[in-house]
Structures are given as structure tokens and as C-alpha cells.
Amino acid sequence: MAICNSDGEVIGVVQAINKNPMGTPFTEDDEKVLQMYLPFCGISISNAKLFSESRKEYERSRALLEVVNDLFEEQTDLEKIVRKIMQRALTLLQCERCSVLLLEDIDSHVVKFAKTFELMSPQCNIDRDISMEKLSCSDWLINNSIAELVASTGLPVNISDVCQDPRFDAEADQASGFHIRSVLCVPIWNRTHQIIGVAQILNRLDRKTFNDADQRLFEAFVIFCGLGINNTMMYNQVKKTWAKQSVALDMLSYHATCSKVEVDRLKAAKIPLSSELGIDEFHFNDFSLDSDAMITASLRMFQELGVVQKFKIDYEVLCRWLLTVRKNYRTVAYHNWRHAFNVSQCMFAMIATANFQDVLSDAELLALMVGCLCHDLDHRGTNNAFQAKTGSALALLYGTSATLEHHHFNHAVMILQSEGHNIFANLSSKEYSNMMQLLKQAILSTDLTLYFERRTKFFEYVLSGEFSWTVEEHREVLRSMLMTACDLGAVTRPWKISKQVAELVTSEFFEQGDRERSELKLTPAAIFDRNRKDELPALQLEWIDGICKPLYQALLKLNRKLQPMVDGINANREKWQEMTFPNQQTRIASVCSESPDPNQNTESGHGADTATPRDATENKRHVRKFGPKSECSEVLRSRGIKESDGNLTSAGKK
């Protein structure tokens, strides 16, 4: 017989079997009794269902309130708030896995995710153990086509069986090692009803599919999540704006543009020839010119390269720009105006001597020269690692990747945008955009981390003979190598000059090390530790072998007119070798015998100046006495470069 609810709807049936005790058939009286009993059954079952649903709604409402509480408790750290959101989602919806993907640009029509977060339920067993991961969108995540569809349409997607859905990539599923059965993906909106990302859950723990109730709950849940994420992102934006303002105020308090008197005096000054200044020579004396002479020498370099005429640079603007650039260098021991000029002189000498002006465009030449002069603007005498350790405003503003280099570029842009300082003013819109891109590449390439990333490619191009001037990627890598070669150019100067520069660098490093010890209570790396100054020659040897020499050898293979630079670094290496091993009379051996020496037979991997295996072993043994690990590796780590990146293997070998 049917069991009905108060609305007369059938909600069940009751069946009686085998009447006891005699087994006689059911009578009409039995039917009447059961008929009278059934309404009470219907009421009881309906009430039980209502109670169960009310309890579920209560639990879900409480969970949503807990989400709101979490959002109010944490609105400063995006990763923390996303973690809390995903933890609540896993508990509330009883699923195996939750993902949150945030869009890179909410105003763009192109869907591209900037940040991806994942959380696995502790009840889900999988070979790969993750509790919380921040992943790139190309990682082993579920295939992004579904997430991209939701982000572009703003409509939720609920797939009960992914194997039957053409939008799902089965190959990506197999590659991830995580079997996906069902997917529920919904958009995340901000307070202005813009999509800022998507939230996604996979596989209910009870192996059922996500139903309409799950979808409604998840959509309600994500509304609060969107508000929390949006508030956190706004907080971070405000914090970043504050950092930017702090940096700007700091710069403004320290720097100022040059005076009209200075500009007029420079305009009227006679500019000596490059031969009189000696700026077209590789053995240029870095300390031969005073501050004003370096300005006039800079003017001469711009004039002789022909970029003033080519780009119609107003002479007064150029004078004002140079004077202001000089004024925007701080009076630190090494990374000052003199270093900037010496780097640009090295670039000028390379261009003039090696005839790079015949293969590089005028725009590239101008960008390289401007990049050299601006590449360390507003340097504070401390490196990127120090900015990260101290949590400085610069690190907060630019992040921990190439912090200073981004600051140098932005400072260069600020000067160019100041009234009367835009030396690119007469460029067309397209030319200006290209010039700024070239300038940014030039300045950022002075970050040694980027140098290590790119030099492998450059060595491969050179050793294999595949380098092509017609391929933009090859030209860009070469420009980066030229910037690094000039930035490190002091190592190729005559010995007295090179040694004096090394002492200035060390002096600046020691000041940073003192601050690390006093302010951060840290033991500085060897090259920053004045208590280990006696190890400087050994550190210089490893610096030359691990960082500098391979680059100049590769450039020499590309252009034989750069031989003086290789001769200079070899001569200086010999001097540092003598200081490191004063009693050793054996032949000097290179620690990095596999560096891409242009004089080497590429197939054999041995160069004409390679020492015997016995000599090389002896030298390496002596170098190791300065520590159980390579001090050069310690220096690299202090600069934020992976230790493995310091290993020099010939790019031509696999």
C-alpha cells in the first residue's frame, strides 16, 4: 500500500507478508487497520526527512559562516586565505581535491591564469603527497580547458562522468597520476561582478557525482571566497602602492636634477677626441678621468657612434640627461657613477674595436650605451639577496627576482620622463616602444641570475657555429652577454687597475657583510666577510674561472678582435694565482678546463693553454683548502644563484 505525505504525494510503499501466527490470508479488516496506520507513517517519514534536510542546511550555513569568519581573520596574505578556502571546500563538499585558479588580467579577453593553488583531502590516497601547492598552470593539474571555459563564459560546469565529456583531456589525466571521475567548476567573482578566477572540486569521497545541491552550495561558498580573495588582492595592491611611494619619496629626498648652470657650462665645454681620452682602448684606466671629464667623455662616445644625429637628440637635452644620471648615483664604494661610466666605456671600446656597429642597429647601439650608463642607478651598495633578507621596500615593490635591476630600469625611465630629459623625444611611437624594450632588456641582463640562464644558449650558438645575426633571439642573447661582459669588464683591465677595482668591490661587500652581522645577526658569505679577507685571491680565481673567463672566450670565438680582453683576464688570473699560491712555481692551470675557449679543439675539449691533469688536480686541491665547498658557489648562493648553475661545462658537450 502507498505511503503519502501531507500533499498526497507518494513517498513510499508498505508491504506485509505472511500473516502470523496461523498463516491465514489477510482480511479486509487487516487492510483497514493498515490503511489507518499509513498516514502516521507518512507524517513520520516526512518529518524525519525535514529534520535531516534542516540539519544539513544548518551544517552548511554554519560552514558558510565559518568561511566568512576566516575571511575576516585573514585578509593580508593571498596564499593563506586561499588555503583556508580550499580546506573548507574539501570539508563542506566531501571531495578529494580542490583547485583555485586566479586570472592574470581580469580585464583581458584572453584567459590566462597567473596563480594556481591546489589542496588534496587527507582522506584521498595518492602516490604524490601534496597538502598545499602553488603550481604553474602547466603543472600536473587537471587540464585547463574546463577552467578556461568557465572563466570565459562565467557559467558553472558540472561533469558527472569526465570520460564521456569531449572537453576533458584523457591524456592529461593519465599523465597526472590522479584519476578524475567528476568535476564541478564555478567562476569566482569580485565585488564589481568581474571574474577573477575559478574554483574547482574533483571526485566526491563517496564516489557519487556532484548533484544540484552540491552545485548550489559551492556557488554560494564561492561568493564569499571571491569577496575574500578580492579584498586580499586589494590589500596587497595598497601595500605595494605604499612601498612604491616609500621608494619614490626616498629617491626624491636623495636625488635632484642638475642645475641650469651645469647644463650651460657643459654645452659650452670643448669635447676632447676619443683618442685624447683613451676611451677607445681596452686597457683604459678606469681612474684616469674625474667626474666632469667622464661626462664629456660620455658625450664624445654618443657623438662618435652617430646616434645623436641618427635619432635627432637635442644636445642640451643630452647634456642635462647625462648630468642628472650622474647625480642619481649614490656615493657608495663601487656601484657609483664611475662604475657606470667605465661599463659604458668598455661597451664603446668593444663596439669601436670589434666593429659591432656594422652588425648591430643604431637603436641597439643607443640602447646598449644608455643601458650601461643607467644599469646601476640609485644602487644602495647592497645586493638583491640583502634586499630579500631585510624585506626592504624595494623587495616588496619589485619582488625578489632581479630586484635592483628592475629598480635601476624604472629609475632610468623616471629620469627620461622628467621634463627636459627625454633623449628619445624625437623617436616615433613605434621606435620609442622598441627602444624602451631594448633598454629594459639591457639593464635587466646585468642580473647574474639571468646571465647564467642565457649563457648556455650563447655558448651553444658560438661553439656550434649556429649563431646568426638575422635571428632576433640570437641578437638578444648576444646583447645580454655584451652587457655582462662590460659590467664585469674591470677583470680584463691592466693588473693595477683591476686589483684596485677588486678592492673597491670588496670594500662595498664588506660593508654589506657588517650590516648582515649587526642588523640581521647572520654570518655573511666569505666574499662579504671582512674576517676572511685573506681569502680574496682564491675567491677572485674562482670568480674569474666560474663567471668571467668563459664569457670572454666565447665572445672571442665570435669576434677575434676581442683578444685583448681575453689576454687581460688571463694576465690578471696569473696575478691572483701568484697571490693565492705564492710558493707554487708550477704552470697555471684553469680550474674550469671545459670552458668554451675559442682556441680549443671543440671535439677534444682541450685547449692549447690547458695544464696537465696533474697540475689541474694540484690546483683544485689547493683551492679546496679554503672550505669544504667552493667559495665561488657560496658567492653565487649569496647572489641568489643556484649552486649548480656555477658548474662550467662546455655548451658543445651533452
The end-to-end CA distance of the chain, in Å, is 81
179 is in an annotated binding site: no
What local confidence, expressed as pLDDT, does residue 122 receive?
80
pLDDT digits (tens, 9 = 90+) for 235-264: 888 888 888 878 876 776 566 788 899 999
Tell me: the pLDDT tens digits for 304-323? 999 999 999 999 999 999 99
pLDDT tens, 109-133? 888 888 888 888 887 655 444 444 4
The length of the chain is 654
pTM of the model: 0.61
pLDDT above 90: percentage of residues in the chain:
52
d(CA 177, CA 173): 7
Q: Is the pLDDT of residue 651 over 90?
A: no
**540 is annotated as contributing to ligand binding:** yes
44 vs 599, higher pLDDT = 44
DSSP 545: I
Determine if residue 375 is labeled as part of a ligand binding site: yes
Q: Which three cell numbers stand for residue 285?
A: 684606466
- Arithmetic mean of pLDDT over the chain: 83
Is 337 annotated to bind ligand? yes
**How does DSSP classify residue 208?**
P
**Alpha-carbon distance values, 263 to 11, 12, 194 (Å):** 94, 97, 51
Instruction: Inform me whether the pLDDT recorded for 538 exceeds 80.
Output: yes
Q: What's the chain's Rg over C-alpha atoms?
A: 35
pLDDT of amino acid 374: 98
Confidence at residue 618, expressed as pLDDT on a 0 to 100 scale:
39
A 10 A CB-CB count for 494 gives 15
Max Cα distance, the chain (Å): 131
Whole-number pLDDT of residue 253? 54
Contact present, 479 and 368 (Cβ < 8 Å): yes
Q: Is 411 annotated as a binding residue?
A: no
Domains 74-237 and 256-444 share a fold: no
Known catalytic residue at 407 = no
Distance CA 211, CA 77 (A): 33
Tell me which of 335, 379, 411, 421 is the catalytic residue.
335
Q: Are 150 and 156 in contact (CB under 8 A)?
A: yes
The residue extents of the domains of the chain are 2-60, 74-237, 256-444, 492-654
The fold for domain 256-444 equals: Catalytic domain of cyclic nucleotide phosphodiesterase 4b2b (1.10.1300)
Fold assignment, 74-237: Beta-Lactamase (3.30.450)
376 is in an annotated binding site: yes
pLDDT at residue 622 tops 60: no
